[in-house]
């Protein structure tokens, strides 16, 4: 089967190429791609970043939703016509993360991703898309939603009535706001944009902090919580942000590090961690089982992703550039008119 795909040139741009899919294996699922959402790591793969040159010869991007067009004779989890979402760590099916869980992550320097008109993946590497979401909405779940779900729910660090602090209003953050609010938690959102903070309130935030007006936002968290602090702080890896996250966390609380925006490392204040009995936890997206639990939650609560903008597939460069403008929620590429 002939398809269209986009491969990295190694010079910071993409080449559109015509390729053929291999014969259908016994457990393969072939699907037509309907929409793809973008993540900051995509820019590093295509344009270079974090000290690495642009990648050459790879199909980039990770988050996609599509409609199944054909299945191998051994496929049991999907039928033709089903909508499917891709997974970011296809080898991590369930249970704790191991080293093997990182094998085959798509849209990286070592493994082809999803920027193509059609894809063919093993059935174990896909999940059903929530029926109530549009294609554009369902495309946003693979990395941002799953990371937020892992931090807010799967860590088991908070329960109804607890306080969660969410930094920024990007893709992971907007999902974290909605998950925490749906579970009856108090959600404090920190951002430099008053306009985005207003949108965060509409998503379910209880309180907001303008970090331009209050650069020491951790003190404002303490004021809002009457000196108790937050049981969970979602840390985005901002410049010098970890120290503030620790200072905003209640004793026995958790700082969940879900992103790496900073360009340099900063010393961890071990006294704050020790004296507060704090837990500092890295959050690496999630397993397929987590993804499936999250999707059931989305359906039950009728939650919908926050999408900042949708671009046609021919506007890939513009869509990637828009990530630099700190969008509210996700940026999506649509194949609707392709």
pLDDT at 267 over 80: no
Residue range of the domain that includes 55: 2-143+286-334
CATH code of the domain containing 161: 3.40.50.720
Beta-carbon contacts of residue 66 (< 8 Å; ≥ 6 apart) = 31, 32, 33, 34, 83, 84, 118, 119
Integer Rg of the chain from CA: 20
Residue 321 lies in a domain: yes
Q: Are 255 and 161 contained in the same domain? A: yes
Q: Are 75 and 204 contained in the same domain? A: no
Q: What percent of the chain has pLDDT over 70?
A: 98
Distances (CA, A) of 66 to 59, 124, 144, 160, 330: 17, 15, 18, 35, 18
pTM: 0.96
Q: Are 171 and 88 contained in the same domain? A: no
Q: Are 117 and 212 contained in the same domain? A: no
Q: Are 218 and 313 contained in the same domain? A: no
Q: Are 82 and 129 contained in the same domain? A: yes
Residue 150 lies in a domain: no
Going by pLDDT thresholds of 50, 70 and 90, the confidence category of residue 265 is low
Q: Are 251 and 191 contained in the same domain? A: yes
Q: What pLDDT was estimated at residue 268? A: 81
Question: Where among 238, 262, 282 does a domain terminate?
Answer: 282
Query: In whole numbers, what is the pLDDT of the chain averaged over residues?
Result: 95
Residue 149 lies in a domain: no
Beta-carbon contacts of residue 27 (< 8 Å; ≥ 6 apart) = 72, 74, 75, 122, 123, 124
Q: Are 6 and 136 contained in the same domain? A: yes
Q: How far apart are the first and last CA of the chain?
A: 18
Residue 148 lies in a domain: no
Residue 173's H or E segment, with its range, is helix 171-182
Q: What pLDDT was estimated at residue 233? A: 98
Q: Are 198 and 316 contained in the same domain? A: no
Q: Are 224 and 315 contained in the same domain? A: no
Q: What pLDDT was estimated at residue 314? A: 92
Note whether 178 and 203 are within 8 A (CB): yes
Each residue's pLDDT tens digit, 50-105? 778 999 999 999 999 999 999 999 999 999 999 999 999 999 999 999 999 999 99
Each residue's pLDDT tens digit, 235-257? 998 877 899 999 999 999 999 99
pLDDT at 41 over 70: yes
Q: Are 78 and 51 contained in the same domain? A: yes
Query: Which residues, in sequence order, are bridge partners of residue 188?
Result: 165, 207
Lowest mean per-residue pLDDT among 24-28, 117-121, 187-191, 333-337: 333-337
Residue 37 lies in a domain: yes
Going by pLDDT thresholds of 50, 70 and 90, the confidence category of residue 284 is very high
Residue 151 lies in a domain: no
Q: What pLDDT was estimated at residue 266? A: 66
Question: Where among 282, 300, 322 does a domain terminate?
Answer: 282
Q: Are 214 and 254 contained in the same domain? A: yes
CATH code of the domain containing 315: 3.90.180.10
Going by pLDDT thresholds of 50, 70 and 90, the confidence category of residue 1 is confident
Structure tokens at 302: 């009728």
pLDDT: is 60 or 215 the higher one? 60
pLDDT at 167 over 80: yes
The average pLDDT across 201-212 equals 96
Residue 122 lies in a domain: yes
- Reported for 241-247, long-range contacts at CB under 8 A and 24+ positions apart, including other chains, are 241/167, 242/266, 242/268, 242/269, 242/280, 243/269, 243/272, 244/216, 244/217, 244/218, 245/165, 245/167, 245/218, 246/272, 246/273, 246/276, 246/278, 246/280, 247/218, 247/219, 247/222, 247/272
Q: How far is 19 from 21, CA to CA, in rounded Å?
A: 7
Note whether 279 and 255 are within 8 A (CB): yes
Residue 68 lies in a domain: yes
pLDDT: is 260 or 61 the higher one? 61
Structure tokens at 81: 């016509």
Going by pLDDT thresholds of 50, 70 and 90, the confidence category of residue 263 is low
Note whether 187 and 204 are within 8 A (CB): yes
Number of domains comprising the chain:
2
Each residue's pLDDT tens digit, 22-33? 999 999 999 999
């Amino acid at each position: 089967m002939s398809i269209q795909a986009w491969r990295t040139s190694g010079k910071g741009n993409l080449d559109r190429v015509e390729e053929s899919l291999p014969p259908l294996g016994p457990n393969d699922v072939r699907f037509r791609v309907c929409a793809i959402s973008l993540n900051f790591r995509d820019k590093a793969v295509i344009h270079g970043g974090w000290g690495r040159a642009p990648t050459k010869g790879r199909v980039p991007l990770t988050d996609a939703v599509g409609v199944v067009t054909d299945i191998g004779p051994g496929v049991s989890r999907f039928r033709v016509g089903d909508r499917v979402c891709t997974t970011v760590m296809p080898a991590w099916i369930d249970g704790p993360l191991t080293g093997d869980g990182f094998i085959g992550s798509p849209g990286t320097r070592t493994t082809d991703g999803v920027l193509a008109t059609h894809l063919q993946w093993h059935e174990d590497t896909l999940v059903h898309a929530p029926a109530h979401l549009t294609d554009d909405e369902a495309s946003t779940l693979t990395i941002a939603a799953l990371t937020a779900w892992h931090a807010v729910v799967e860590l088991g660090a908070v329960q109804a009535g607890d306080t969660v602090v969410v930094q920024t209003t990007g893709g992971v953050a907007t999902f974290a706001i909605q998950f925490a609010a749906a579970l009856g938690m108090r959600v404090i959102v920190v951002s430099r944009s008053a306009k985005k903070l207003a949108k965060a309130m509409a998503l379910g935030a209880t309180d907001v902090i303008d970090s331009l007006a209050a650069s020491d936002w951790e003190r404002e968290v303490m004021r809002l919580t009457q000196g108790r602090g937050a049981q969970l702080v979602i840390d985005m890896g901002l410049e010098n942000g970890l120290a503030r996250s620790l200072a905003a966390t209640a004793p026995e609380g958790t700082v969940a590090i879900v992103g790496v925006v900073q360009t340099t490392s900063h010393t961890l204040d071990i006294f704050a961690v020790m004296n507060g009995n704090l837990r500092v936890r890295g959050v690496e997206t999630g397993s397929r089982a987590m993804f499936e639990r999250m999707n059931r939650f989305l359906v039950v609560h009728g939650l919908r992703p926050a999408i900042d903008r949708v671009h046609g597939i021919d506007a890939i460069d513009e869509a990637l550039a828009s990530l630099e403008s700190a969008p509210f929620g996700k940026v999506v590429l649509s194949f609707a008119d392709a």
